[in-house]
Homo-oligomer: A and B are copies of this chain.
Amino acid sequence: MRNISILEGINRALVDAMEADESVLILGEDVADPEDGGVLGVTKGLSTRFGEHRVRSTPIAEQAIVGAAIGVSLGGYKPVAEIMLMNFTTVAMDMIVNHAAKLRFMSGGQTNVPIVIRTMTGSGFANGGQHSDYLEAWFAHTAGIKVVAPSNPSDAYGLLRSAIDDPDPVIFIENLPTYFAKGEAPESGHRVPIGKANIVREGNDVTIVAYARMVQEATAAVEALAARGVSAELIDLRSIAPWDREAVLASVQKTGRAIVVHEAVTPFGTGSEISAVIHENLFHALKAPVQRLGAAFCPVPFSRPLEAAFAPDAAAIEAAAASLLA
């Protein structure tokens, strides 16, 4: 099967979803073709193919974007709203958290908000403190919203199709530095169920839980560990809310050791939740405390050596695993 990039996987998922269902819409800054189909071309070709009534470029106004997505979904559509970078969700938090996440509950189930919010982030491109944050823990802490973060083209395709199918709001997190990472192309129509992790590699000594770009770092770490005779099991979480407790707990039951890796800062991050749940459920099976590996507790720095040291990398993951097994 031919290889495609994550960016292409996303583009195809949008094309196929729009083709399959007339109610699927796209809105966001620069998303239509007169605007180049997005600053990085993720939505390229869509407005030409499906019309600018279904693929609409918007003003720079994230509250208006998410509000329009919510409203049009109440009117029966399935909009995919793009918030260019995850840090820009900060100007739309009211719409996302107080409205999109809550309308189903507050209406007693009468209305629902089947929207997808695609957003992108990640350190490594020298974009500095206001363009690179991972904020998934905020949304995961919000009842009524789902959060996914694929690490390869096929999952990107399959999770986005599932997110669009989903009757509830989903935050779909893309990673800038791996947009052009290649991988196996999915079959058209492929779905990755939300809430289902992927066991990337089986192993017996330690479980490594990661998602998004950290899966690449963890993969390298797992290979290095294998060379050292350590058999690590790598779980690509893919969905953060809800996350696949069964898969993680089954793995740690087997290995007795776990490391959770993410690019967000460590304190109060998703690693804390996963660590707490593992400890609660496998108190006696654990051979060592769960380790959390997240970014340094600071804003994302600009300077190259600082940025390089900011998020966990393969070496840090390998070292953490080695220390757990020591």
Contacts and interface: CB of A to CB of B under 8 A. Distances in A.
Interface of A: 63, 87-91, 93-94, 97-98, 101-102, 105-106, 128-130, 137-138, 140-144, 241, 264-265, 267-273, 275-276, 279-281, 283, 286, 288-292, 297-299, 301
A202 to B, nearest CB: 26
Nearest to A140: B268
B87 A90 contact: no
Contact of A273 (B90, B101, B143, B272): B272
A56 to B, nearest CB: 23
Given A141-B265, A142-B265, A143-B265, 18 more contacts: A87-B94, A87-B98, A90-B94, A90-B97, A90-B98, A98-B129, A102-B129, A105-B298, A105-B301, A106-B130, A137-B137, A137-B268, A140-B267, A141-B267, A141-B268, A268-B273, A271-B276, A276-B279
13 contacts: A90-B97, A90-B98, A91-B94, A98-B129, A102-B299, A105-B129, A105-B298, A137-B138, A137-B268, A141-B264, A143-B297, A271-B276, A283-B289
A106 B299 CA distance: 8
Contacts of A290: 276, 279-280
3 nearest A-B pairs in the assembled complex, by CB-CB distance: A141-B268, A275-B276, A90-B93
Listed residue (A88, A281, A298) with the most chain B CB atoms within 10 angstroms of its CB: A298
